[in-house]
Structure 1
Amino acid sequence: MRVTAGVVDDEIAAQDRMGRAPDLTDYFAGFLDVRRTRTDGELNRKLSEALREVFVERRADLPGQDASAALRTAKNALSQRQRIDNAAVQEAVLVAAGDPQDDDLRRAFESTTTRKLRTAKLTGVEFEPDATMLRRPARKRIQTVEGVTIEYPTDLEGVRVRQQPNSAGGRTIVIETARVEDEGPVRDRTR
């Protein structure tokens, strides 16, 4: 429980060792008059966002500097687990980061992961993986200096979306599609 200015907050964190986490036994729930406020789906969504933030922040330390590939690897590793807890997340992040051998780099990934989990209020939480949420391909966004933005699921990379260096020192981006779904002017968002 958290006490702020002498007043007990309504929210508490509870772990019932007699019930299967994260569910509470009826006795424990009745004794504390508590109920669960976040579903496994919400926890998985928060976890996905926290992982994305870790890999975006530590992009320069990733093999190939590919945050999308690292996110996909970590989410896939976590989707295979029976339960997700902080140790499992730390392990998945390190695997996705190429299992760095440099102790300073490992500590940097662990520190960033711990901070992002704390911000997402996932510290000390254990829950079941939601395979549909965790196996959903991450989305990748490319923004060019010309102001072109492309966003696509990472599982299309190398299949329908390819990037190749060109003779001018830039990149050529090729998108293959069966048909264009929507095309038209975009609302001006400048203020």
Structure 2
Amino acid sequence: MKILIISDSHGLQEELGVIKEAHRDDIDLMIHCGDSELPFNHESLKGFVVVKGNCDFDNNFPNEVEQEVNGYKLLATHGHLFHVKNSLMTLSYRADEIGAQIVCFGHSHIAGSERIADKLFINPGSISMPRGRKDPTYCILEVYKKELHVVFYNKDHTELKDLSQKYSM
């Protein structure tokens, strides 16, 4: 199963469509981790599971979403309610509460993935205002039975090998 994960697009519309189109034949699920700054029913968000970020004002967005993916439970949230700019501890506690092994979040605009104990944390970065690097980023999570691959891309859909990782679970 392949999951496209985007966050912090901050009003971008065309870019969301371009990314969806670039991967349309490869993706089983699309997640937007908040701060789209678009209305809930906006055409650019069609096909995405979207959560509410601190810059989203449409109350139709949920604060978090749970998904089952190939036997793993995935939690998607923006991260601001869990103070992810300070630590992943509060978010890790929430993942424990619901039994999530994969946690997707945004808010910091910093792309990266990290396995901590039995959980994989993924921040796709930002496709509009990246921090920590020049390139806007998003990622695709490839979920296999015992292995998870997180592949990061720039706006030209080129893999960023310095960020991409494989994890055994």
Q: TM-score, normalised by structure 1?
A: 0.21
Q: TM-score, normalised by structure 2?
A: 0.23
Which protein, 1 or 2, shows the higher relative CO under an 8 Å CA cutoff with sep ≥ 6?
Answer: 2
| Greater percentage in strand | 2
